[in-house]
Structure 1
Amino acid sequence: MSWLIQNRVRNTFLRLKPLSSTIIKNLSTSPEPSLKQLDESSEIWNVIVGRAGDRVSEDEVFHRLSNDSLCKKVNLSDTLLHKLLHRFKDDWRSALGVLKWAESCKGHKNSNEAYDMAVDILGKAKKWDRMKEFVEKMRGEKVVTLNTVAKIMRRFAGGGEWEEAVKVFDRLNEFGLEKNTESMNLLLDTLCKEKRAEQARAVLLELKEFIKPNVNTFNIFIHGWCKANRVEEALWTVQEMKGYGFRPCVISYTTIIRCYCLQCNFVKVYEMLSEMEANGSPPNSVTYTTIMSCLNAQKEFEESLRVAARMKRSGCEADTLFYNCLIHTLARAGRVEEAERVFRDEMNESGVCVNTSTYNSMIAMYCHHDEEVRAVELLREMESLKVCEPDVHTYHPLLKSCFKRGDVVEVGRLLKEMVTKHHLSLDESTYTFLIQRFCRADMCEWAYCLFEEMISQDIAPRHRTCLLLLDEVKKKNMHESVERIEHVMKTVKLTAPVM
C-alpha cells in the first residue's frame, strides 16, 4: 500500500474518535451557536458528546458539562437525554455524569426511563456495588418501578448472579411493589432466559401457594426448557398447564416448534403445525417465520419458500418480520427480481411497513451480487425517507464489498459516516469483522488499533480474533503489541470461540 493511502486511512481513523483532543479543540474554538441553533441542529449533540467522553470519572463529566457555556444554554429534553444515555451505554462513567448533569439543568426532571437506563448500563458493566448504591438512591426518591426491578434482576442473572436476582424479588415490598403473578413471572422469566429453569421451578413451587400462576407462567417455563434443549420437559409443561385449566396457545406451540427446528427435526415441526390447527390454535406469522429462518440456516431455501407458500394458502396475515425473512430467502435463492417485487410492491399492497432489517436484507442482497451502487442508493433512500434509521448491520455488507475490492479508503469513509453521521457505536461483531478483514488485507497495524479501541470500550474480543491478530503482529515484529495481546488473552474474559 502506498504511503499516501496509508496516511489517508490513518487520518480517517483519527477522525473516527469523536472524543479526541482534536475534536474537542475544534468544538472549543468554533463560534458559539445561538440557543435556537442549538435546538435545531446536531451541534448540541456534538458539544455534549465531546465534553462527556474520554472515559473519565462521572464527577469530571458532570463538572465539564456544568461549567460549559454552551451546555448551560440547552433546553434539555427527555428525548435528547435518552439518546445520550444510549450513546454511552457502554461507558457507565460518562452515562452517570450526563445523568447527574441533567438533574442540575434548570427546568428538567429526569424521567423513570432515564433512571432505568442508568441502572441497566451499570448492570451491563457488572458494576454491582455501584448499581445497588444507585438503586438505593432511587428507592429514597420513590422512583423504583417494576421495570427497574426487571432490569436489575436480568442483569444479575445474566452476570451469573441469579441468587441476587431472587433477593431483589424478596425485597419488592421495600420498593413499594407487590409480590404478585406479574412480578413473579418477571423473576421466572429472568431465570429461564439464563438457562436456570430448574431454579425457576424451585421458586415456583415455593411461591405457588401464595401466588397463582397464569398462562404466561407456563409459557415462560416452556421457553426455559426449550432454551435448555429439554423439549420433553417443555411438552410435560404443556400437559401441566392443561391440568390448571389453561389451553396451550400459539406462543406455547411456536416455542416448541423453534426447539424442534434447532434440532433439525422438521418431521416433528410439521407434526406440531398439524396439531396446532387441530387444537384450534392455528400457526401465526411468527410460527412460519421461525420455521423459514431455521430452514435458511440449513440453506434449505426452496423448502423455506414452500413454507411461505403454505402460510399464504392458510390465509395467515403476514407481518414485517415475515416479509424480511421472505426477502432474505429469495435473495439467498438467487431470485433477485422476486425479492425486489416483494420489497417494492407486495409489502406496500399488504399494508406492511418496511423497517431497518428490510433495507438491510436488500442491501446485503445487492452487495452479494456485486451491485454495490444499487446498495448505496438504497442506503441514501433510507436516509432521505426517514422511515427507519441505518444500524451497524446496514453497513456490514458495504464494508465487506470495500474490502473485497481492496478499497480501504472507502472503508474509512463508511466508518466515519457510521460514527459521525448516524452516531452508531461499533459492536463486538463489527470490531471482530474489521479486525479480521484488516489482518487479511495485510494491515494489522490498523487491526491492532481497533483491538485497543475494542478493549477500551470494555468489549471482550473473541478468542479466535486474538489468535489471528497475534499471528499477524508477530509476522510484523510488533513486539509490544504481541505482549499486549498475550496479556489481554490471559486477563480478559474472552468470548468463547465459535465451534
Structure 2
Amino acid sequence: MWTRILARATRAVAVAGNYSLINQPISDPIFLKIPKSTFPQIFNNPRFLVTSNLDNELSPDSSVNGGDRQLAEEEEGGGGGDTYEVDSDTLESVLRLLQTSADGSLESCLDDMDLTLHQQLVTKITETPFVLSENLIRFFWWAWSERSLEVTTPMVESLVLAICGNDDVRKKKEVVYSLWDLVKEIGEKESGLLNVRILNELISSFSRLRKGKAALEVFDKFEAFHCVPDADTYYFTIEALCRRRAFDWACGVCQKMVDARTLPDAEKVGAILSWLCKGKKAKEAHGVYVVATEKGKLPPVNVVSFLVLKLCGEDETVKSALEILEDIPEEKRERAIKPFLAVVRALCRIKEVDKAKELLLKMIENGPPPGNAVFNFVVTAYSKAGEMGKAVEMMRLMESRGLRPDVYTYTVLASAYSNGGEMEEAQKILAEAKKKHVKLGPVMFHTLIRGYCKLEQFDEALKLLAEMKDYGVRPSVNEYDKLIQSLCLKALDWEMAEKLQEEMKESGLHLKGITRGLIRAVKEMEKEVVEAESITAVV
C-alpha cells in the first residue's frame, strides 16, 4: 500500500511542476527497472506526462494519511463509488514483460499473470515510452481477441499514434503491417470504431516506408470503416503512390480528391502537382490545379512554372498552359521568363503563330520582357509558314526594343527567301547581316548557295562561294558537295566540279565518295558522247 501511495504522490508532484532534484521524492517503481541513463529521455517524452485519473488521486493537501484513496472515497460516499484504480505493481509487471525482447512465449506469460484487464490499464501501457512496438501490438491483440477487452476509439488511436510516432518503427515495415492487420481486424468486427486520424497515421507510415500499395489498401477501406477521407488522407495516399512511381493509381486518387473538392494547403497541392508532372501526368495535374485555384489555394510560382513546362510538351495541352500564365502575379513575372518562353515556343510548334505573337505583345506590355529567343521563335514560325512580311515585321519590332537580331535570325529569313526563290531578298538579308555582325557562320552562305543551285544559277553560286572565303568563312564539305552535285547533275560541268574538288584538297577537305564517283561518271559520259558524235560525223 505504501508503495502505491508513494508512487501517486510522486506523480502528483510531477504534475504540479516540481522537478527539483532536492525536493523530488522517489519515482514510480517502474523506473527502478530502467537504467538511470534513460531518465532524461523519459522525462522529455510527452507520452510520459499524459494525465489520467491516477494523477489526481492524491493531492498535497489531502486528509487521507495511511489509507487508500478509494477507501477514503468509500467512507465519504458510503460505498457508492465504483472507480477503477490501476495497480502500479500490475502495471510494472506487464511493462517489464513488454519491454523485453519479443519471443513466442509472450501470450502464455500474459495468461499466467491472470490480469484483470481494464481500458484504463491498457491505455496506460500503450502510452508508456520504450515499450517494444511488436510486443505492444501483440499485447493489444491478445487483450482484444483472447480476453474480449472492449476496445474504444481513443484506445486504438493511442496505440496507433504510439507506434507510428516511433522513429524506429519507420525502419521496420513488419511492425506497421502487423499494426494494420490489427486495426483492419478491429474495423471489420467493430463497426464505426475507427476514425480518420487512425487511418491517416497508417497511410502516412506506409508512405514513409515507400509502400504505396499498402497505403492504397488503407485508403480503399475508408468507406467500409464509415470514414470520410480528409485533405491529409488524399495527400498521404498520393505521396505514397508517387514515391513508388504508381502514377496511374495516384491519378485515380487525385480524381476522387477533385470530385470531393477536398484539397490540402497550397504547399501540399504544389507537391502533388510536382509529383504528377514528374510522372508525365501533366494533364491530370492541370485538373488538380484548376480546382486548387478555384478554392484559393494557388501553388508556389516555381511549381506553376514547372506545370506550364510539362503542359507545353503535349500539343493538346498547350492552350491549358497558355491559360495558366494569366494566374502568375505581375510582381512575380519578372522571374518567370521560362514558362512564357515555353508557351511561345509550343504555340509556334502547333502552328498557332498569331497567338504566339499575341503573347509576345502581352509580354512587352505586362512582362516578363521578351528576349531574342522569344522573338526568334515567332520569326522562325512565320518564315516556315511563308509569311515573310510578318517575319520581317517581328525582326523590326525586336530592333525597336533595343535588341539586335542575331545571326540565327538573319539565317532563318535568308533561308526562307531562298527556299521561295526570292534570291534578291535573300541577298538583302545577307548584306544587312554583314553590316550588323563581324562574323557570319557557314549556314548563312550555304542556304543561299543551295538556293542558287536550285535555280541553276551556278555562276551566282560560285560567286557566293568566293565571297564566303573573302569574308573569312571557311566553306565546309556540305557547301562543296551541294555545288559539285548541282554542277554534275544539272550543268554537266565536270570540269568546274574537278576544280572545286582540287580546292577542297588544298583546304584539307575530303569529298564524299559518292560525289567523286558522280564526277567520274559525268566525265566518262561526256567522252562517250563526244566519241559517238565523231563516229557519226565520219560516217
Larger RCO (alpha carbons 8 Å, 6+ apart): 1
Structure of greater Rg: 2
TM-score by length of 2: 0.37
